[in-house]
Amino acid sequence: MKISTATFAGASSEPGRFPPPTHPEVAFAGRSNVGKSSAINRLLGRRKLARTSNTPGRTQQLNFFALDDRLVFVDLPGYGYARVSQSARAAWRPLVESYLGIRSVLAGVVILVDVRRGPEAEEHQLLDFLATRQLPALLVATKVDKLNRRERERALKALSEVGLPVVPFSAVKGEGVDAVWRTIQEWVRAKTQAGSPPKTGPKATGALPKAPAR
C-alpha cells in the first residue's frame, strides 16, 4: 500500500473519548520500549512521525495518525514498565481496553513482541481479549537485528507456538515491512467490505482532548 501523506490526527488519554471514527484503524500494541513507534515510522518511511524514546513508558496516550484518506494507525501506550507511576499503570487498562473493546472501525491489531523476550503474561491476556472480540491480530517480532542467526531461529520458533502468524521485524534494517503491510492491507480490505458505517455514540463523538504540541 502506497501512502503519500501521514499526519498526526489526535490523541486520547481518557477511556471512551477518541477522535470520531473515519476510516479503518490498525492499532499497534505491545510492551513499553518494544518498538511500536519505531515500527510505525518505518512502515510509513517517516523518521519522526510517531515519537520514539529511549525512556520506556513515555507515551501514555493513544496517538492517531491519518494515512491519506484511507486508514488510521493508532499507537497504543505501552504496558509492563515497572517504573511508571501507580496512577499511570492503573490508567492504562481502562484506556486501552475501552479502545480495543468498543472501537467500531478497528480492523486489526499488530502485537509487537521483543524477539529476545517472547510473549509473556500480558501478551497472552491481550490475545485472549482480542479473541473474545474476534479481532484479527498479527505478531511482530521486533529488534531481530539484535540476534544472530541461531538465536533468531530459536526465538522465532518459540514465538510461532502462540499460533498466530509471526513476522520478523527490524525498524533499523527495514526487514518485515512488506509482510506487515500485506496483512494490514488484507485487514483494511475486509473491514471496508464489511462496510458497516462507523457507529458514533455520544461518547465517541465527544470533544477530543486537545492534541499535545508535537
> For binding to ligand GTP (CB under 6 A), which residues are involved?
30, 32-38, 52-54, 56-59, 78, 142-143, 145-146, 170-172
Q: Which does 23 bind (CB under 5 to 8 A by kind): Mg ion, ligand GTP, none?
A: none
Q: Which range of residues in 1-9, 32-40, 60-68, 203-211 is near Mg ion by CB under 5 A?
A: 32-40
C-beta of residue 127 within 8 angstroms of C-beta of residue 155: no
Grid cell in block for residue 191:
473491514
Q: Which range of residues in 35-43, 104-112, 123-131, 171-179 is near Mg ion by CB under 5 A?
A: 35-43
Q: Find the residue with minimal CB distance to Mg ion.
A: 37
β partners of residue 79: 31
Per DSSP, the three-state class of 121 is helix
The residue type found at 98 is S
Antiparallel, parallel or unpaired: β 71-75 and 25-30: parallel
Q: Which residues ranging from 41 to 70 are in contact with Mg ion (CB under 5 A)?
A: 59
CB of 37 to ligand GTP, least distance (A): 3
Dihedral over Cα of 158, 166, 194, 71: its sign:
positive
Q: Which range of residues in 33-41, 61-69, 126-134, 191-199 is near Mg ion by CB under 5 A?
A: 33-41
Q: Is residue 37 a contact residue for Mg ion (CB under 5 A)?
A: yes
Q: Which is nearer to Mg ion, 59 or 170 (CB)?
A: 59
Kindly list the strands in the beta sheet with 62-67, ordered across the sheet, starting from the edge strand earlier in the chain. Answer: 6-12, 62-67, 71-75, 25-30, 106-114, 137-142, 166-168
Which helix (H) or strand (E) segment holds residue 74: the answer is strand 71-75
Residues that bind Mg ion (CB under 5 A): 36-37, 59
